[in-house]
Chains A and B, each alone.
Chain A
Amino acid sequence: SQQGEEDPQALSIQEGENATMNCSYKTSINNLQWYRQNSGRGLVHLILIRSNEREKHSGRLRVTLDTSKKSSSLLITASRAADTASYFCARGQGAQKLVFGQGTRLTINP
């Protein structure tokens, strides 16, 4: 069952603007991961944040985690056309499995 909720479901912004996507979950986590999927392709891992971390950066990506609110956000700064994709959060469930949200479809307009 999917236990991640992402919002918005779709986001359209102008190139150069920042994009923020949110993810909420219902149960405790070991970690929370963000993946990107270009249309018709496999998923690519972007960043992992552990339950004892609050913020993590990777290039133009910034992820925050609030375990008290059971939520995470992914910020992409200075967006580019190549950032157009679907973005998924995935909650680490136990030692082996990931539970994915439904994703946010991001469109960067030139």
Chain B
Amino acid sequence: DGGITQSPKYLFRKEGQNVTLSCEQNLNHDAMYWYRQDPGQGLRLIYYSQIVNDFQKGDIAEGYSVSREKKESFPLTVTSAQKNPTAFYLCATRPLAVGTDTQYFGPGTRLTVL
């Protein structure tokens, strides 16, 4: 996990509320990613960003928003439009040097909607 911080570890939300999940990295990696994991399932890509002030939708972007104002930070907002937000959210980073395809993951945030 080292070098990537996700907070909080556990988050509870009432229906209709927006919440923001934090992801901070000190690895100086260019690319950052947000994934969603449901119980017993693999990871699905929500959004990713290769450079500051630029990001692209992944496979399941509806109901989510992101920003990339700083290289170190890539917060994810889960909006009230996301119909089933209860899940485990993972942030990852990757350097963009040629040949570096490995992603590095944070410890995750578990979001529960009450």
Residues of B within 8 A of A26 (CB): none
- Interface SS, A side: strand
Partner of B108, one of A31, A42, A101: A42
Interface size on B, as a range, is 20 to 34
Which A-chain residue is minimally distant from B100 (CB atoms)?
A48
B112 CB → nearest A CB, Å: 13
User: What distance in Å separates the Cβ of A1 from its nearest Cβ neighbour in chain B?
Assistant: 6
Q: Is the CB of B108 within 8 A of A30?
A: no
Instruction: Please name 21 pairs of A and B residues whose Cβ atoms are closer than 8 Å in the assembled complex, sorted by A.
Output: A2-B42, A2-B44, A31-B101, A40-B88, A41-B107, A41-B108, A42-B90, A42-B105, A42-B106, A42-B107, A42-B108, A43-B90, A45-B103, A45-B104, A48-B102, A88-B43, A100-B42, A102-B40, A102-B41, A102-B42, A103-B41
Interface size on A, residues (CB 8 A): 26
Contact of A100 among B43, B50, B107 (CB under 8 A): B43
- A residues less than 8 Å from B44 (CB atoms): 2, 100
Flag whether B74 is at the interface (Cβ < 8 A). Answer: no
B61 at the interface (CB under 8 A from A): no
A57 vs B107: C-alpha distance when bound (angstroms): 27
With A and B bound together, what is the CA distance between A33 and B100 in angstroms? 12
Asked if B58 contacts A43 (CB within 8 A), the reply is no
CB within 8 Å of A: which B39-68 residues: 40-45, 48, 50, 58-59
The docked-state distance in angstroms from the alpha carbon of A48 to that of B99 is: 11
- When distances are taken between beta carbons in the complex, the residues of chain A under 8 Å from B76 are none
Q: Is there contact, CB below 8 Å, between A97 and B101?
A: no
Q: Which residues of chain B have C-beta atoms less than 8 A from A88's C-beta? A: 42-43
For residues 1 through 51 of chain A, which have their beta carbon under 8 Å from a beta carbon of chain B? 1-2, 4, 30-31, 33, 35, 40-45, 48
CB-contact partner of B101 in A41, A92, A100, under 8 A: A92
